[in-house]
Homo-oligomer: A and B are copies of this chain.
Amino acid sequence: MADAESARTRLLDVALRTFREKGYTATTVDDLCRAACVTKGAFFHHFDSKEAAALAAVEHWNTRTGALFEAAPYWQVEDPRARLLAYLDFRAARVRGELPEFTCLLGTLVQETFASHPALQAACGAGIEAHAQTLVPTIEAARARYAPKADWSAESLARHIQAVLQGGFVLAKALNDPRAALEAIAHLKRYVEGLLPVRRNEARNNASLATRFPTRHPPSKRR
């Protein structure tokens, strides 16, 4: 008793951790129940099936990370190019602690489920796509200002950034070294800098002044 909804939330939180550590199939319902101090009956009271729980976990992940990124400091950066680079710094700063703590649930899940669990695959894809979309206006603005004639689209670059991040996580797991992820982000940052060259007369590198970006954007909450 005590806090209603607590068992469900506890299960979802535990699911984020466990799925990232062991993957979807290797994570058993009992694993989740044990870790959340919940009986199996409670589990199947809240979720129709293991797959439904994973879907709920993906949704949980999306709201969790959505809030994290909405409140992140890079939104305070006015210049879109600098803001995009600050986003990458933010991603790099999150590479800390153990691998299952900073890697991406969606990328991990989709690797094993893309063929056998279409619903999960679609949910992971939608989640990644949605996150990529949050970058598009920034990239669009940066492109207009710094590389108006570029032959790449903002959507394409936004997706590519996600790809590099996912790939960095894979390599970090393979080499058992978080630095592999940091290295990938560093190369990615260099790429973005090269895509958006700073013309000499336009080097208005502000950094700390907090002005809201005019177009559609998450509200820049102070943290």
Q: Which residues of A contact B (CB under 8 A)?
A: 21-26, 99-100, 106-108, 110-112, 114-116, 121-122, 124-125, 128-129, 152, 156-157, 159-160, 162-168, 170-171, 173-176, 180, 183-184, 187, 190-191, 194-195
In the complex the two chains form, what is the Cα distance from A184 to B23 in whole Å? 25
Known: A129-B175, A171-B159, A171-B166. A152 touches B187 (CB 8 A): yes
User: Could you tell me if A128 and B174 are in contact, using CB atoms closer than 8 angstroms?
Assistant: yes
Residues in B with CB closer than 8 Å to A124 are: 174
Q: Residue A100 contacts which of B110, B115, B166 (CB distance < 8 angstroms)? A: B115
Q: Residue A22 contacts which of B115, B167, B174 (CB distance < 8 angstroms)? A: B115
Residues in B with CB closer than 8 Å to A190 are: 152, 191, 195
- Given contact pairs A159-B171, A160-B184, enumerate 14 new A-B contacts (beta carbons under 8 Å): A22-B115, A23-B112, A107-B170, A110-B170, A121-B173, A125-B175, A125-B176, A128-B175, A152-B187, A159-B183, A162-B171, A163-B168, A170-B170, A190-B191
Could you name 6 residue pairs across A and B whose Cβ atoms are closer than 8 Å?
A22-B112, A106-B174, A111-B112, A152-B187, A156-B183, A191-B191
Residues in B with CB closer than 8 Å to A22 are: 112, 115-116
Interface hub of A100, A125, A187 (most chain B Cβ within 10 A): A187
Closest to A106 in B: B174
Q: Residue A191 contacts which of B115, B165, B187 (CB distance < 8 angstroms)? A: B187
Distance in Å: Cβ of A182 to nearest Cβ of chain B: 11
Residues in B with CB closer than 8 Å to A180 are: 159, 163
